């Protein structure tokens, strides 16, 4: 399922946002985006800023799966550059 774009336009880049108040260290985000997210010894993501983690091209489906699979409902996707 790709974002709809005008002919020739690139899809908007996405960012994976972690709600730190909800995160329980299940590691679903790292399972989906392991090349971008590492986990500490307790299972919490490290190196993630409040701006989120850019989702690499080709990983949008994996990131969406992580959002719906997160047991703590601590993940969401948004378009890059959006406040």
The residue whose two tokens read 């601590």 is: 74
Domain spans of the chain? Answer: 20-79
* pLDDT digit string, tens, across residues 39-68: 999 999 988 888 888 998 899 999 999 999
Give the whole-number percent of the chain exceeding pLDDT 90.
Answer: 53
Range among 3-7, 22-26, 48-52 with highest mean pLDDT value: 22-26
- For residue 32, the model assigns a pLDDT of 87
**Burial class for 1, CB neighbours closer than 10 Å (0-12, 13-18, 19+):** exposed
Q: What is the DSSP letter of 9?
A: P
Q: Is the pLDDT of residue 17 over 90?
A: yes
Positive or negative: CA dihedral 62, 73, 48, 5: positive
- For residue 80, the model assigns a pLDDT of 84
pTM (two decimals): 0.77
Q: What is the CATH number of domain 20-79?
A: 3.30.70.20
The answer for residues whose C-beta is within 8 angstroms of residue 82's C-beta and 6 or more apart is none
């Amino acid at each position: 399922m790709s974002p709809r774009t005008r002919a020739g336009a690139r899809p908007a880049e996405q960012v994976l946002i972690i709600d730190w108040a909800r995160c329980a260290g299940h590691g679903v985000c790292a399972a989906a985006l392991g090349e971008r997210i590492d986990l500490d010894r307790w299972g919490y993501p490290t190196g993630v800023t409040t701006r989120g983690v850019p989702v690499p091209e080709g990983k949008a489906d994996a990131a969406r799966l992580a959002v719906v699979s997160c047991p703590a409902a601590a993940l969401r996707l948004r378009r890059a550059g959006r406040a």
